[in-house]
Amino acid sequence: MKNKLFIISMFAAAVVFSSCNKDLLDQTNPNSSTISDYFQSESDVLLAVNGIYQSLRSSNCIGENSGLFTEDRAGNTGGIDVQSNSGEPFQFSDFSILPSNSYLKSHWTALYQSVSRANIVLSNIDNVTFASADTKSGYIAEAKFLRALIYFHLVRKWGDVPLVTKQLTSTEVPLYTFRAKDTAVYAQIVADLKDVLASPLPDFQTGANLGRVSKAAANALLGQVYLTRAVTISSSNKNEDLASAKTYLEACYNMRSFNALTDIPYADVFDVSKKTSNPETIFSLVYKQGDINNSSSIAANNQAAGETINSLKVATGLGGSVRHDLVNEYESTDLRKAFSIKYANATNVKDWFITKFRDTTSAAGKLGYGGNDCPVIRYADVILMLAEVNMYLGDNATAISYLDMVRVRAGLPAYAVSVTDADYIAKYPTLKLAILHERRVELAFEQKYWFDVIRFFTTDELIAYYHAKNQLDFGSPKLANFSRKDRYFPIPLDEYKLDPVKMYQNLDY
């Protein structure tokens, strides 16, 4: 079975948009006949679908250790030490990223490898006879959801991107080496997610299927897609998209199995012993505790020297450093602060580090083979998006009711009380900024904040937002570097060179 997955993996790697040597492609000859020969049984399709999920977990894709492209970029992580201002990773937080950055290229390639894996499944699934039509439809729905999820990352990070919805041979790659308009990418994402909602997938996955796509996840993602398109794409029918966002987010919310968010303690959401029964989880990338190849390393990686709160693995370095700009964002009575971050006081580390992801069990052991899952969508996220969309629609009362659901669980006063506090209203003078604040501290280190700020602010507002921050809270990264170019990543240099006209570079790079 591993050999079969290797065939899929190598083919996906060969047909992503990259400056691969053409002779190598021809020599490997991963043509459609080879792949179609692979798809002989239902189990072959299942393995190929599992291969899509597996590809997402990479640190170059959207897995637990891919925060460089989101959390570091947005200013939540990275610490303020003066020794971190070297090498390509620093370019992300310093807003000085170059098109030649190899980490950026790896991210682009990994995302398109996941798209290719999904396209391979969708292009070849008809070759297999299924005992149940629902099984086939379910696999198609999973592949379309995962493709939509990755394209949602691509369009928000780069804007116009190549759009491919079928398996490509090496000779077809040049035909698709052009940037499709962001509107076309959004249209494809919407179409895929609507197909998922029309499928026989269950509202939620249970048992051995935990971690697989569900209709609740499709509703949540589609709602977020409509919300994002409404406020970031100028050609969007804004009011219609906002109405659709509300419809799908409410559909997801109404599927919940709990009564109130306060029924689920915040710590329980991240408790590895409760992850199979956590009603707040909608979609996560699943890791296997104790497994050298499939375990989570986030707890151990985040732990600072001298600390034992995250993992039994002995830490010697900085761990998951937290920018002081985020530390200062927590209100004094916020229960989430003590759970999410801690100050390390070792000789070589005197700074804040991430404690949100923990696994100190003997099953994870001293090598740190943790069982933490990587949250992609959970109900607090959906609830705060409902606050946001109702605010945009002019229904502040409903928006505040959703905002309060999250604040009350965190041990904070309701919004109506908080706005009477001079410090709170000085920091968050509008309901919009209050919602953004709540999203930042509730969803910290879950790769949301960068996507939030580019949704909440126009490019000019975003520049002003970062320039107004305290440079001392960021350390080496220079806030003054932030300019209109930083709304998107640059197209990786190797991709741009394939066709400088059709793979045109983003603004000011």
Q: Burial, 430: exposed, middle or buried (Cβ in 10 Å; 0-12, 13-18, 19+)?
A: exposed
Stated pTM of the model: 0.93
Averaged confidence pLDDT in the chain:
92
Tell me, rounded to whole angstroms, the distance of Cα 285 from its chain centroid: 10
Query: In which band, very low, low, confident or very high, does the pLDDT at 37 lie, cut at 50, 70 and 90?
Result: confident
> Mutual orientation of helices 379-392 and 238-254 as an angle, nearest 10°?
150
What domains are defined for the chain? 1-154+460-509 (1.25.40), 289-370 (no CATH), 379-459 (no CATH)
- Count of CB atoms situated within 10 Å of the CB of 175: 9
Write down the pLDDT at residue 93.
Answer: 95
Write down the pLDDT at residue 35.
Answer: 80
Q: Cα separation of 326 and 76, whole Å? A: 6
Stated length of the chain = 509
Q: What percent of the chain has pLDDT over 90?
A: 89
Return the minimum-mean-pLDDT range out of 70-84, 209-223, 231-245, 434-448.
Answer: 70-84
pLDDT at 27 over 60: no
Query: In which band, very low, low, confident or very high, does the pLDDT at 144 lie, cut at 50, 70 and 90?
Result: very high
Q: Give me the mean pLDDT over the 417-441 stretch.
A: 98
Write down the pLDDT at residue 32.
Answer: 40
Query: In which band, very low, low, confident or very high, does the pLDDT at 430 lie, cut at 50, 70 and 90?
Result: very high
Write down the pLDDT at residue 236.
Answer: 82
pLDDT at 28 over 90: no
Q: What is the pLDDT of residues 186-229, one digit of tens each?
A: 999 999 999 999 999 999 999 999 999 999 999 999 999 999 99
Q: DSSP assignment of 60-114, as one string? A: TTTSTT-GGGTHHHHTSBS-S-TT---STTHHHHHT---TT-HHHHHHHHHHHHH
Write down the pLDDT at residue 170.
Answer: 85
